[in-house]
Amino acid sequence: MFDYLIVGAGFAGSVLAERLANGSNKKILICDKRPHIGGNAFDFYNDEGVLIHKYGPHIFHTNSKDVFDYLSKFTEWRNYEHRVLASVDGMLVPMPINLDTINKLYGLNLTAFEVEDFLASVAEPCDEIKTSEDVVVSKVGRELYEKFFRNYTRKQWGLDPSELDASVTSRVPTRTTRDDRYFTDSYQAMPKHGYTRMFEKMLDHPNIKVLLNCDYEEISKDIPFRELIYTGPIDAFFNYRYGKLPYRSLEFKHETHDTEQFQTAPVVNYPNEQAFTRITEFKYLTGQEHKKTSIVYEYPQAEGDPYYPVPRKENAELYAKYKTLADARSDVRFVGRLATYRYYNMDQIVAQALTEYGKMVGKKRQEAAIAKAVGSNGNGSTATMQTLTKTPLS
Ligand code: FAD
Ligand code: UDP
């Protein structure tokens, strides 16, 4: 008898499996319908031997010391500060928009003070910032909004920025300095040996069994367990009773080139002319040295694997109806980006899962992250992760 069946072996499911096994000595079966662990953060060495992220670029950054410390139990880190260029008006310029972006784009030589005046002169202030259009236009004006944000957002979401919550474009700041980092979090690093290695260590516990290529519905009636933790899409769990919740999808086009370097930045965004939104070159992210290089193009899609919850009012209302159903199910816990319909980064999902574990054991998140069952045989053992499949990790 398992204490828990956990659906989904991404961050949400794996953190809870690790905590319940290692912190509470519970017996866990974690299943995933994909042929690998790690969820969307899964990485692997492709046929040419280049470490790539199957589901697009995953860059770890957080301001949370306890999330960083928790994950540090399962990986060493490689310091990495992410940088992005945008292809606009035939030039490659820093994104987020900063002092150099404006100077390069307009052939100017403004100082940080002067660029503040410049932005103030083009910005269109608005009384209440409600949408993703308001966020940008109120800071940088309509022309820069149109060059960098409007078309990218339309492509990425299939919606105009005016139809999306402010939270979407608020993820990208505007700077009057020369700081060209994409993130400013206090911890910015990549797992030294990749995400999948980190997940293998998290799940390496005698109490955890991993079952891949397996939709939970195929086994939930036959395998005895006490409680369910569900990290898949919430609308699917309830058989789409109130209709489908929109999740935006992507098609990833991976390529390997017979050259050491493909582009001059880890990510180049293409807001306007192309059907894809961005190209990522993985070696920048992973630090791998290799004579070839692998890249991925992201083509947004309406249909396909659910990757992004779509933050807007009508979707929040529909999610609230599913949440009411979820709250009534005392036998199931809903955790993760798809199950709680939140546009969350990896660190936020780790925090959410640690908080959930804290609730289960009556501890605060910080304490829950370090709690260890008395007498348990925890991580660091030489046992390898116990996987009930022979499918290779690719
Ligand atoms: P997931 O990783 O989606 O895991 C859920 C798992 O549940 C999946 O593996 C799925 O197969 C499984 N599942 C679903 N239904 C079933 C079922 N019926 N039976 C069995 N298994 C099931 N975050 C960052 O912090 N930095 C980044 O740079 C970043 N880049 C991203 C880029 C892209 C293109 C995308 C899509 C996301 C990115 N994210 C990034 C977000 C990050 O991927 C998520 O925050 C994180 O992976 C969410 O973890 P999760 O466990 O909630 O969900
Ligand atoms: N965005 C944009 N142009 C850009 C970069 C971002 O319009 O060059 C908008 C777009 O709506 C995007 C959102 O800002 O979806 C958040 O960007 P982020 O890079 O955080 O997206 P993610 O990495 O989550 O796909």
pLDDT at position 387:
63
pLDDT of 335 strictly over 90: yes
Q: Taking Cα atoms as reference points, which of 326, 355, 330 lies closest to residue 338? A: 326
Residue 139: pLDDT above 90? yes
Q: Please give the structure tokens belonging to residue 116.
A: 């503040």
* pLDDT tops 60 at residue 390: no
Pocket flag, ligand 1, residue 16 (CB < 6 Å): no
Q: Mind listing the pLDDT tens digit for each residue in 201-238?
A: 999 999 999 999 999 999 999 999 999 999 999 999 99
User: From the CA of 5, which ligand is nearest?
Assistant: 1
pLDDT of residue 231: 98
Pocket test for ligand 1, best of 15, 40, 355 (most atoms within 8 A of CB): 40
**Nearest CA among 56, 49, 82 for reference residue 256:** 49
Is any ligand 2 atom within 6 A of the Cβ of residue 52?
Answer: no
Q: How close is the Cα of 346 to the center of ligand 1, in Å?
A: 8
CB of 309 shorter than 6 A to ligand 1: no
The pLDDT assigned to 392 comes to 37
pLDDT greater than 70 at residue 276: yes
Q: For a substitution probing ligand 2, which of 40, 101, 169 has the most ligand atoms within 8 Å of its CB?
A: 169
Domains of the chain: 2-37+203-245+310-389 (3.40.50.720), 95-170 (no CATH), 247-301 (no CATH)
- Residue 288 reports pLDDT greater than 90: yes
pLDDT tens, position by position, 93-121? 999 999 999 999 999 999 999 999 999 99
Mean pLDDT of 244-264: 98
Asked if the model's pLDDT at residue 376 lies above 50, the reply is no
Query: Span 164-175, mean pLDDT?
Result: 98
* List of residues 6+ apart from 368 with CB closer than 8 A: 19, 23, 354, 355, 357, 358, 361
Taking the C-alpha atoms of residue 32 and residue 27, their distance in angstroms, rounded to an integer, is 17
Establish whether residue 341 lines the binding site of ligand 2, counting it when its CB lies within 6 angstroms of any ligand atom.
no
- Name residue 303's amino acid: E
Q: How far apart are CA 117 and CA 107, in angstroms?
A: 16
CA distance 228 to 207: 16
Task: Output the average pLDDT for the chain.
Answer: 95
- Tens digits of per-residue pLDDT, 45-85? 999 999 999 999 999 999 999 999 999 999 999 999 999 99
